[in-house]
Amino acid sequence: MLRSQELMEDFRGLLNVENNGRKLVTFVLFGLPELDQVLALDKPLHQRVAMRYELTALNSPGTEAYVNYRLRIAGGQKLIFKPETFSLICHYSKGIPRLINTICDNALLEAYLRKQDKIETALIHEVAEDLKLGRA
């Protein structure tokens, strides 16, 4: 949708709008790595990017911290995933948060349907296979 030089020129034009000597607009853009290529369609706009940050894949301890944080924020008060599940979740998701979320969401649903209060490695293997994420 954004792959248009004209649109990138319009973005740059909006960045030039001022009132009383102050800029009126600041853009914060989030996207996949291809976003940088889209911004490069307008070289002056590409040069105006003040900050770039690329998220990298999470490792196993990072995956564990991420999942436990999300559970805590959602109101969870006990550890649902057994510690050994996190290395599998990391493996199957390749550390990508979106896939970590998908695996965990499916595992939580399956555990609920089976009336299990803990998620074990066997369930992670099963969920990953159902999602066609490969084998450990």
* CATH architecture type of domain 60-130: Orthogonal Bundle (1.10)
* C-beta separation of 54 from 77 below 8 A: no
CA dihedral sign of residues 80, 85, 87, 90: negative
Query: What is the rounded distance in angstroms from the CA atom of residue 13 to the CA atom of residue 33?
Result: 23
The separation between the first and the last C-alpha atoms of the chain, rounded to the nearest angstrom, is 37
Domain-wise residue ranges, the chain:
5-47, 60-130
Phi then psi dihedrals of residue 109, to 5 deg: -65, -45
The pTM of this model reads: 0.74
CA 54 to chain centroid: 11
What string of pLDDT tens digits covers the 136 residues of the chain?
677 888 888 888 888 898 998 888 888 888 888 888 888 888 988 888 888 888 899 999 999 999 999 999 999 989 999 999 999 999 999 999 999 999 999 999 999 999 999 999 999 999 999 999 986 5
